[in-house]
Amino acid sequence: MSTGDKRIYIFDTTLRDGEQSPGVNLNMEEKLALAQQLARLGVDVIEAGFPIASSGDFKAVQRIAREIKGPVITALARTSEQDIRAAYEAVKDAEKPRIHTFIATSEIHMQRKLRKTKEEVKEMAVKAVKLAKSLVDDVEFSAEDASRSEIPFLCEIFTEVIAAGANVINIPDTVGYATPWEFGEFIKAIREGVPNISEAVISVHCHNDLGMAVANSLAAVRNGARQVEVAVNGIGERAGNASLEELVMAFYTRRHCLGFSTGINTREIYRTSRMVSILTGMPIQPNKAIVGKNAFAHESGIHQDGVLKERETYEIMNPEMVGISSNKLVLGKHSGRHAFKIQLQKLGYDLEGEALDKAFHEFKQLTDRKKEILDEDLIMLLDSHLLGSGEEVYVFDHLQLSSGTKISSTATVGIKIKEELIEEAACADGPVEATYKAMEKIVNLPVKLESYSISAVTEGKDAQGEVVVRVSVVGETFMGRGLSVDIIEASAKAYLNALNKIVRKHPDLIQ
């Protein structure tokens, strides 16, 4: 990257705003695994959570702060003393802790939601920043719904919070209402209207309600913003946040014209994206820029011909740049440990010792049921088995099924609970329903299946099926994921994965 490039700081909010996506509920191990991967990706800041929201959130932020080295670790807080002290307690052990405090500044939010005057809001913001600054050196202040706030008021509040010690002032387009040219002008007006702006970094946080979050972030950067708040795969509240991979690859691919650089290792993008999709249960649409299945696929004859003759005829980036391997080496029954390890390394997984033994064992088991093991199979296998999913109360043992077009389905399921094998059978119209009914007899939890989806991991009739379910219990939704060449087994594993998450979080529900 050219040395004259201006450095843009990547603030990742996948674990906070991203985790606010409907139905997403990550456990501690999953959050930690994701934070580790974000550090490997090279983000500058990880927003690890909102500690006051729950004790689970608090503990996860604390663990990330203690264990993840490299990026700044920040936590969100409203302006109340209680929120700020909770955020401080959670991040204080980080190598580089930051407190991120926010209050709404638009008329509609101040009048209708907060029922506060401008003066009161300003006072609360300044008081919060002063308190945060007395605890840590690095403080970020966000004016929620900034893009619908009055510019003179924003300039006033930003001037005062910078004087109170804020190092970063964040300008969110909270409801995704802005357009790029308007938002660019907006950032410029703030930059010019805040006399002490040189003492702080300008940050933006754009939502994607009108599909313009990335474009708005770019417009802001062009007008002086130097931190962008993003989420992997663009997940987040409602339509989500600006997508990390799109923004980073725009900076990289158009670096000669834009003149900005980031600290991201682009080769870790695809792996991070897969991990987020797997952990959140949010599939990536095939035509999603950068990481979608079709992002580098050339379908028409003219395009294929062009790419074969000269790649750049239709490719502005190459897949290897974002970590998509073009080497589709096929492994199988006779592949040894060495070939397996080499292939994992090519895919970005450096496993040794016990972790390698476990993965190799899983791989061998898969080769008994599937002839050709493709890269996608390996990635799925590794991500599902090596991501920390925590201790399992219910362990899948076996499944036996009788089903057909003219008979109802009968399933017999065996689940181990504390080493004791429990078996139940049930009948239903279809095999998945029969399996789930049998499992419900064993676990006896007050759950409701909210959604079920299935997809093939690779092409071919022998492809593994990946099942994702959402299961609700007392107003909370949990995602479960299962993988197998047998789709009913994948369905059972997905359901059990969700049930395990429920009882891990609510052990009191175990009967």
In the shown chain, the binding pattern of residues 17 to 56 toward ligand KIV, with x for contact by CB under 6 A and - for none, equals: x---------------------------------------
Q: How far is the CB of 241 from Zn ion (least distance, A)?
A: 6
Using CB under 6 A as the binding criterion, the count of chain residues that bind ligand KIV stands at 9
Say which amino acid occupies 178: A
Q: Does 173 bind Zn ion (CB under 5 A)?
A: no
- 102's contact among Zn ion, ligand KIV, none, with CB below 5 to 8 A by partner kind, is ligand KIV
Tokens describing residue 389: 């999913």
**Quick one: residue 234, left, alpha or beta (phi over 0 = left, psi -120 to 50 = alpha)?**
left
Chain-centroid distance, C-alpha 500: 21
Q: How far is the CB of 79 from ligand KIV (least distance, A)?
A: 11
Q: How far is the CB of 82 from ligand KIV (least distance, A)?
A: 17
CA distances from 51 to 161, 261, 314 (A): 22, 32, 46
Of 12, 17, 138, 489, the one binding Zn ion (CB under 5 A) is: 17
Of 142, 147, 227, 435, the one binding ligand KIV (CB under 6 A) is: 142
> Using alpha carbons only, what angle is made at residue 12 by residues 102 and 345, rounded to the nearest 5 degrees?
165
- Using the rule CB under 5 A, give the single segment among 11-19, 63-71, 88-96, 405-413 that binds Zn ion: 11-19
Q: Which residues within the stretch 391-450 sit at the binding site for Zn ion (CB under 5 A)? A: none
Q: How far is the CB of 102 from ligand KIV (least distance, A)?
A: 4
In this complex, which beta carbon is closest to ligand KIV, that of residue 205 or of residue 493? 205
Q: Which residues within the stretch 203-242 sit at the binding site for ligand KIV (CB under 6 A)? A: 205, 207
Sign of CA dihedral 391, 394, 398, 402: negative
Q: What is the rounded distance in angstroms from the CA atom of residue 382 to the CA atom of residue 355?
A: 10
Of 19, 30, 144, 377, the one binding ligand KIV (CB under 6 A) is: 144
In this complex, which beta carbon is closest to ligand KIV, that of residue 215 or of residue 443? 215
Tokens describing residue 364: 């061998």
- Using the rule CB under 6 A, give the single segment among 167-175, 188-196, 216-224, 389-397 that binds ligand KIV: 167-175
Tokens 């033994």 — which residue? 357
Q: Does 140 bind ligand KIV (CB under 6 A)?
A: no
Q: Does 83 bind ligand KIV (CB under 6 A)?
A: no
For strands 201-206 and 394-402, give the pairing: unpaired
For strands 394-402 and 409-417, give the pairing: antiparallel
The answer to whether the beta carbons of residues 493 and 385 sit under 8 Å apart is no
Q: How far is the CB of 31 from Zn ion (least distance, A)?
A: 18
Q: How far is the CB of 133 from ligand KIV (least distance, A)?
A: 18
Q: What is the rounded distance in angstroms from the CA atom of residue 143 to the CA atom of residue 163?
A: 16
Q: Provide φ and ψ at 369, rounded to 5°.
A: -115, -15
Q: What is the rounded distance in angstroms from the CA atom of residue 477 to the CA atom of residue 9?
A: 33
Binding site for Zn ion (CB under 5 A): 17
Interacting residues toward ligand KIV by CB under 6 A: 17, 102, 142, 144, 170, 172, 174, 205, 207
